[in-house]
Copies of this chain bind each other. A is one copy, B any other.
Amino acid sequence: MSYKIKSRIWIEADNNVLLGQGRVQLLKAIAKTGSLSKAAKSLNISYKKAWTLLDSVNKSAKKPVTINSIGGKGGGGAELTDYGISLIRAFDEINQNCWDFLDKQIQKIDSL
């Protein structure tokens, strides 16, 4: 069996992590469910962990990534901003490009 190359990418802003695999996954779940608590449930992570992640994302980003509301109809909720939607799309694209790039590079090792 031949070697496989794997990678993780993430984006930082001022030495703080802005986006990584897990954060993107969380944002997608928020977009799908309309709330942070439902997103957390769907990913089988605790609400607190999800909240900490999302808080970190919004604190690191140049512009808000989500708009969160407390109370009111349905108790509140969270939704992505246009900026947030653009960010996750760009992240996914770069990530896929990186994988494709690395798959080409791995032959340097297979041929050793």
Q: A83-111: which residues lie under 8 A (CB-CB) from chain B?
A: 83, 86-87, 90-91, 93-94, 97-98, 101-102, 105-106, 108-109
**Is A12 part of the contact surface with B, judged by Cβ < 8 Å?**
yes
**Is A73 part of the contact surface with B, judged by Cβ < 8 Å?**
no
A6 vs B101: C-alpha distance when bound (angstroms): 15
Smallest Cβ distance from A37 to chain B, in angstroms?
Answer: 28
Residues of A in contact, count (CB < 8 Å): 30
Residue of B nearest to A62 (CB): B3
**Is A43 part of the contact surface with B, judged by Cβ < 8 Å?**
no
Of listed A1, A86, A87, A94, residue having the most chain B CB within 10 A: A94
A110 vs B79: C-alpha distance when bound (angstroms): 22
**Is A45 part of the contact surface with B, judged by Cβ < 8 Å?**
no
A interface residues, Cβ below 8 angstroms from B: 1, 3-14, 18, 83, 86-87, 90-91, 93-94, 97-98, 101-102, 105-106, 108-109, 112
